[in-house]
C-alpha cells in the first residue's frame, strides 16, 4: 500500500471510531472483538515499514517511543473521560464526553508537534508509527472500558462497575 492509502485508512478508522463515541455503545459481551481493529492497525503499521529512519536511527526511535507514549496516554484519557453506566437489564454502556474530545484534540496537537520535530530534524516519517500508536490507543481504551464495566478484570479486587454509574 502507498503512504496515502495508509494515511487514508488511519483517518477512516479513526473517524469511524470517533463517530461511534458520540453515540452510546454497549461494551463487553463481544469476546475479544474489541481487539480486532487495534490489531489490524498495528499489523498494517508494522507491515508498512519505514518506522525507523536508517539515517536518523536514534532520533526516529525516540520519536516512535514518544508516539507510543502519546498513544497510551490518549487511550487511557479516552477511557477515563468516557461515561460508563449499567442499564436495568444489566448491560453496560459507554459514551464519550466533551472531555473525551479534549483528549483527542490534545493528542492530535502532540502528534503534530512530533511530526514538526521530525521534519525539522530531517527524519523520514511514515504513517506506520501513527497506525501503530492508534492501534495501541484503541486497544488500551477498549481494555480499560471493559475493566470499568466489570467485564475485564485487569487487577484482582473490585472493578469500577459499582462506582461509575453516570447516566446519559
Please state the domain count of the chain: 1
Q: Is residue 153 part of a domain?
A: no
Q: Is residue 94 part of a domain?
A: yes
* Grid cell at residue 161: 462497575
Q: Is residue 163 part of a domain?
A: no
Which residue in 113, 109, 141 sits closest to 17, CA to CA?
Answer: 141
Residue 70 domain boundaries? 3-148
pLDDT of residue 33: 74
Q: What is the DSSP string of the chain?
A: --HHHHHHHHHHHHHHHHHHHTS-EEESSSTTGGGHHHHHHHHHHHHH--SS-TTSHHHHHHHHHHHHHHHHHHHHHHHHHSEEEE-TTS-EEEE--HHHHHHHHHHHHHHHHHHHHHHHHT----THHHHHHHHHHHHHHHHHHHHHTTSS-SSSS--STTT-----
Q: Is residue 81 part of a domain?
A: yes
Q: Is residue 154 part of a domain?
A: no
Q: Are 41 and 134 in contact (CB under 8 A)?
A: yes
The arithmetic mean of pLDDT across residues 111-120, rounded, is 88
pLDDT of residue 129: 86
pLDDT of residue 2: 63
Q: Are 133 and 70 in contact (CB under 8 A)?
A: yes
Q: Is residue 159 part of a domain?
A: no
Q: Is residue 67 part of a domain?
A: yes
Q: Is residue 142 part of a domain?
A: yes
Model pLDDT for residues 10-66, shown as the tens digit of each residue: 677 767 777 776 788 888 766 677 788 889 889 988 888 778 888 888 998 999 999
Q: How far apart are CA 85 and CA 166, in angstroms?
A: 5
Amino acid at each position: 500500500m502507498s503512504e496515502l492509502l495508509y494515511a487514508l485508512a488511519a483517518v477512516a478508522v479513526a473517524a469511524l471510531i470517533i463517530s461511534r463515541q458520540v453515540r452510546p455503545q454497549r461494551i463487553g459481551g463481544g469476546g475479544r472483538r474489541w481487539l480486532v481493529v487495534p490489531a489490524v492497525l498495528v499489523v498494517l503499521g508494522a507491515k508498512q515499514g519505514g518506522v525507523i529512519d536508517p539515517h536518523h536511527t536514534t532520533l526516529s526511535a525516540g520519536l516512535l517511543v514518544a508516539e507510543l507514549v502519546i498513544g497510551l496516554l490518549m487511550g487511557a484519557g479516552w477511557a477515563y473521560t468516557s461515561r460508563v453506566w449499567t442499564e436495568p437489564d444489566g448491560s453496560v454502556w459507554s459514551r464519550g464526553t466533551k472531555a473525551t474530545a479534549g483528549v483527542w484534540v490534545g493528542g492530535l496537537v502532540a502528534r503534530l508537534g512530533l511530526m514538526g520535530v521530525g521534519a525539522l530534524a530531517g527524519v523520514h516519517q511514515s504513517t506506520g508509527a501513527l497506525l501503530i500508536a492508534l492501534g495501541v490507543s484503541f486497544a488500551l481504551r477498549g481494555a480499560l472500558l471493559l475493566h470499568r464495566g466489570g467485564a475485564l478484570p485487569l487487577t484482582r479486587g473490585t472493578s469500577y462497575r459499582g462506582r461509575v454509574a453516570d447516566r446519559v
